[in-house]
Amino acid sequence: MVEDVKLPLRQAKPDPEAVELRDLLESVFDRYGVDFRDYAYSSVKRRVMRRVLDEKTGTISALKEKVLADPLAMDRLQVELTIHVTAMFRDPGFFRAFREKVVPALKTYPFLRLWVAGCSTGEEVYSLAILLREEGLHDRCRIYATDVSDRVLSKAKAGIYPLSAMQEYTRNYQQAGGQHAFAEYYTADSDFAIFRPFLRDNVLFAAHNLAGDASFNEFNAIFCRNVMIYFNRSLQDRVHGLFHESLLMYGYLGLGRSETMRFSSHENYYEPIAVKERLYRKIK
Ligand SMILES: C[S@@+](CC[C@H](N)C(=O)[O-])C[C@H]1O[C@@H](n2cnc3c(N)ncnc32)[C@H](O)[C@@H]1O
């Protein structure tokens, strides 16, 4: 699947910090209920080592003591470990393929539920809302936009982004098959673009943790892009199980550019709709 994560303790070359790292992640889970235990090892380790450096603790074990004693240090660790990078119409080819290959099928349904899992600060959600509106589907849709982080969800609800990003987003929008002037969707206010509130009329923002929470509805389409890349194989399998259970038959699953269904535990339950764009349809 996304990353061939080998458990450190089974690596040919032993990693002396693996035990300390596991201990940190277990302690953080016990103390704060925040679960990074099944995130991709190499990426977690790199980021934890950055905290060791910035917090000047010298070792992972000392970082653990600091994080357990100081919620602000925990906050900083959490920010380091959750990557929120996103953009509007990110990978425009994905949205173009969705528009051309999925939307015609969605139009046959009287009511649609879509789930954007790991929506970060909301740029992907507004992109989807714009696309659905242009396709005449927005009124019969309910979009569930979830993320594990409350911090990003409150930004997503506000829908206010730097004006400086609009040039890139306009280009993405056009490449994604956008049909209007992108500037119609926001008002500019000094340094910010404030997206039009009607775009979130049918959007429900909520906290949901893919590492622990259950399915909460049935969906015609699920987007989970650039999220599972940070998970290890066993968490990826869990999330695929969750999505399979949550998708209606012939529902669609959209993954990120570096993520694929190939070799995943659920590969046989889907057929590719646009392989390069990581769009799949549930067939069993
Ligand atoms: C790199 S962003 C991707 C945003 C967007 N989907 C995109 O493709 O632009 C990854 C998001 O996944 C969220 N995330 C990480 N772990 C998660 C979990 N266990 N459950 C839900 N969301 C999670 C992060 O908070 C972050 O906002």
Task: Please give the Cα distance from 260 to 250 (Å, whole number).
Answer: 18
H or E, element range at 205: strand 203-207
Identity at 70, one-letter amino acid code: D
How much of the chain exceeds pLDDT 90, in percent? 92
Per-residue model confidence (pLDDT) at position 8: 52
Question: Which atom of ligand 1 is found nearest the CA of 86?
Answer: 9
Per-residue model confidence (pLDDT) at position 6: 45
* Residue written as token pair 């173009």: 96
> What is the sign, positive or negative, of the torsion defined by CA atoms of 220, 226, 229, 234?
negative
Where does the pLDDT of residue 212 fall: very low under 50, low under 70, confident under 90, or very high at 90 and above?
Answer: very high
Give me ligand 1 centre to Cα 83, in Å: 7
Q: Is the CB of 232 under 6 A from ligand 1?
A: no
Strands (DSSP E) contained in 105-259 are 112-117, 141-147, 160-162, 186-189, 192-195, 203-207, 219-224, 247-255
Where does the pLDDT of residue 13 fall: very low under 50, low under 70, confident under 90, or very high at 90 and above?
Answer: low
Per-residue model confidence (pLDDT) at position 4: 42
Whether the pLDDT of residue 5 is over 60: the answer is: no
Identity at 256, one-letter amino acid code: G
Task: Please give the Cα distance from 62 to 24 (Å, whole number).
Answer: 9
Q: Is the CB of 149 under 6 A from ligand 1?
A: yes
Q: Is the CB of 177 under 6 A from ligand 1?
A: no
Whether the pLDDT of residue 11 is over 90: the answer is: no
Question: What number is the average pLDDT over the span 208-221?
Answer: 96
Question: What number is the average pLDDT over the span 231-249?
Answer: 96
Whether the pLDDT of residue 36 is over 60: the answer is: yes
Whether the pLDDT of residue 220 is over 50: the answer is: yes
Whether 87 contacts 168, CB under 8 Å: yes
What CATH code would you report for 92-282? 3.40.50.150
pTM tops 0.85, yes or no: yes
Residue ID of nearest Cα to ligand 1 atom 9: 86
- Whole-Å CA distances, 60 to 15, 24, 54, 73, 95: 13, 7, 12, 13, 41
Domain boundaries, the chain: 8-81, 92-282
Give me ligand 1 centre to Cα 147, in Å: 6
Whether the pLDDT of residue 1 is over 50: the answer is: no
Q: With CA atoms as reference, report the closest residue to 224 among 252, 256, 200, 249.
A: 256
160-162 vs 192-195, strand pairing mode: antiparallel
Task: Please give the Cα distance from 184 to 70 (Å, whole number).
Answer: 46
Identity at 19, one-letter amino acid code: V
- Note the pLDDT tens digit of each residue in 150-191: 999 999 999 999 999 999 999 999 999 999 999 999 999 999
Find residue 255's DSSP bridge partners.
Answer: 224
Per-residue model confidence (pLDDT) at position 262: 83
Q: Is the CB of 268 under 6 A from ligand 1?
A: no
- Note the pLDDT tens digit of each residue in 62-113: 999 999 999 999 999 999 999 999 999 999 999 999 999 999 999 999 999 9
On the CB side of 196, how many CA atoms lie within 13 Å of its CA?
11
Per-residue model confidence (pLDDT) at position 12: 55
Task: Please give the Cα distance from 231 to 211 (Å, whole number).
Answer: 9
| Mean pLDDT estimate for the chain | 94
